């Protein structure tokens, strides 16, 4: 099956070092169902890398193969040079994982859970500092069952970070959080990255990906359909940018259509809608000014990541979301 392939690998910026995550031609099938096919990407150290896609696109399978929970049918996976199947133990030391689902025993206290997970690692974080950073310090002696959804989510993140990982994989970490808790979680992720941790973020919130991710891979039907910065993906969602305005006087459309930046001019009642690329706004306004026409009520429209998602997958990111979660 051939889906729209726009895979374009963008070299990470000069600050980036060796790749933290390298995935090459990953393939995973369940029976006859091909969950992931020919997925390749690499994540630079210190990057926040987003994996986006509709439900059943293969996001979670990709992540589960990457962290060694599943063995791929084909392809290579390297985490800081290590193979998650062959170097299981070492990979688990350096990769912290927060899975999409996963509760904890209701009658254990926050501190007891963290102390236990802390003992699993060679060089763990300090429990006191970690729960302070995550705003869980007042809950240290509370049972897990008494925590709110947001607190449970933060504890889950704390467990992913307790081993002081070099790579943190966070799967749908803000699903089910209220907007304030979500913004707190975003600040937390940026904070973790600032400490030098590479972050792989699986999400279906476009706003989250747009705000946090250096690059995103958009997965659909088991393939990567696009891989770029959120801004570039958004720009690609439309043929270009649009500018809409109310001209002070009528003018010949050719004044604008002859500009190299302009691809189309439409009349919407008294308004003019110009579609184009590059320095569209400047070009349009300068030409109009040269012809003695002023543009009033200028509206610029730039598309966002959500538009890109809809355009590239033909699905709305929130459409089929809640079916899976009761």
Instruction: Identify which of residues 118 and 211 has a Cβ nearer to another protein in the complex.
Output: 118
- How many Å apart are CA 27 and CA 58, to the nearest integer? 10
Instruction: Name the residue nearer to another protein (CB basis): 81 or 128.
Output: 128
Least distance (Å) between residue 68 CB and another protein: 8
**Is 57 one of the binding residues for another protein (CB under 8 A)?**
no
Q: Does 202 bind another protein (CB under 8 A)?
A: no
Q: With both helix axes pointing from N to C terminus, report the angle between 305-313 and 230-237 in degrees, rounded to the nearest 10.
A: 60
If the CB atoms of residues 43 and 234 are measured against another protein, the closer one turns out to be 43
- As measured in angstroms, the least distance from the Cβ of 172 to another protein is 13
Q: What is the distance between the alpha carbons of residues 16 and 302, in angstroms, rounded to a whole number?
A: 29
Number of residues that bind another protein (CB under 8 A): 34
76 lies in the site for another protein, by CB under 8 A: no
CA distances 35 to 7, 171, 200, 217, Å, are 18, 17, 19, 16
By the rule CB under 8 A, 163 interacts with another protein:
yes
- Which residue lies nearer to another protein by CB, 101 or 146? 101
How many whole angstroms separate alpha carbon 59 and alpha carbon 113?
28
CB of 35 to another protein, least distance (A): 16
86 contacts: CB under 8 Å, gap ≥ 6: none
One DSSP character per residue, 164-195 reads --SEEEEESTTTT--HHHHHHHHHHHHHHHHT
Lookup result for tokens 């039907």: 221
Nearest to another protein of 114, 280 (CB atom): 114
- Residue 251 in the binding site for another protein (CB under 8 A): no
What is the per-residue DSSP string for 192-226? HHHTT-EEEEEES-HHHHHHH-SEEEEEETTEEEE
Tell me: does residue 74 bind another protein (CB under 8 A). no
Instruction: Kindly state whether residue 108 participates in binding another protein, applying the rule CB under 8 A.
Output: yes
Confirm or reject binding of residue 107 to another protein (CB under 8 A). Answer: yes
For residues 84 and 276, give the distance between their C-alpha atoms in angstroms, rounded to a whole number.
47
Question: Which residues have CB under 8 Å from 308's CB, separation 6+?
Answer: 218, 226, 233, 234, 236, 237
97 binds another protein (CB under 8 A): yes
Interface pick for another protein out of 123, 196, 267, 269 (rule CB under 8 A): 123
- Binding region for another protein (CB under 8 A) out of 29-37, 94-102, 147-155, 288-296: 94-102
In the complex with another protein, the residue whose CB is nearer, 118 or 311, is: 118
Both tokens assigned to 25: 């031609």
Measure Cα distances from 322 to 54, 102, 177, 276, 318 in Å: 12, 17, 14, 38, 8
Q: Does 82 bind another protein (CB under 8 A)?
A: no
Stretch that binds another protein, among 4-12, 106-114, 174-182, 318-326 (CB under 8 A): 106-114
How many helices (H) and strands (E) the chain has is answered by 11, 13
- Binding residue (CB under 8 A) for another protein from 81, 128, 149, 314: 128
**Binding residues vs another protein (CB under 8 A):** 67, 69, 89, 92-93, 95-97, 99, 101-105, 107-108, 112-113, 115-126, 128-129, 159, 163
């Amino acid at each position: 099956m051939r889906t729209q392939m726009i895979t374009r690998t963008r070299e990470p910026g000069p600050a980036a070092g060796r790749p933290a995550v390298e995935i090459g031609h990953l393939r995973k099938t369940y029976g006859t169902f091909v969950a992931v096919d020919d997925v390749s990407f690499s994540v630079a150290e210190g990057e926040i890398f987003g994996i986006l896609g509709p439900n059943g696109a293969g996001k979670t399978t990709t992540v589960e193969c990457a962290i060694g929970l599943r063995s791929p049918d084909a392809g290579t996976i390297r985490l800081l040079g290590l193979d998650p199947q062959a170097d299981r133990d070492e990979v688990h030391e350096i990769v912290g994982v927060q899975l999409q689902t996963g509760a904890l025993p209701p009658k254990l206290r926050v501190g007891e859970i963290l102390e236990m997970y802390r003992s699993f690692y060679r060089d763990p974080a300090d429990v006191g500092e970690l729960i302070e950073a995550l705003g869980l310090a007042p809950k240290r002696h509370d049972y897990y069952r008494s925590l709110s959804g947001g607190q449970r989510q933060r504890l889950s993140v704390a467990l992913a970070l307790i081993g002081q990982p070099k790579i943190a994989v966070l799967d749908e970490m803000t699903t089910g959080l209220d907007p304030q808790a979500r913004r707190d979680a975003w600040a937390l992720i940026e904070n973790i990255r600032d400490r030098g941790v590479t972050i792989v973020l699986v999400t279906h919130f476009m706003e989250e990906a747009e705000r946090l991710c250096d690059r995103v891979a958009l997965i659909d039907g088991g393939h990567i359909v696009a891989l770029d910065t959120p801004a570039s993906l958004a720009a690609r969602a439309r043929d270009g940018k649009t500018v809409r305005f109310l001209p002070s006087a009528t003018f010949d459309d050719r004044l604008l259509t002859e500009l190299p930046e302009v691809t189309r001019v439409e009349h919407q009642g008294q308004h003019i809608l110009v579609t184009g690329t590059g320095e569209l706004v400047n070009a349009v306004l300068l030409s109009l000014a040269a012809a003695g026409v002023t543009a009033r009520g200028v509206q610029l429209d730039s598309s966002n990541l959500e538009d890109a998602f809809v355009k590239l997958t033909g699905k709305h990111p929130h459409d089929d979301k809640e079916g899976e979660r009761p």
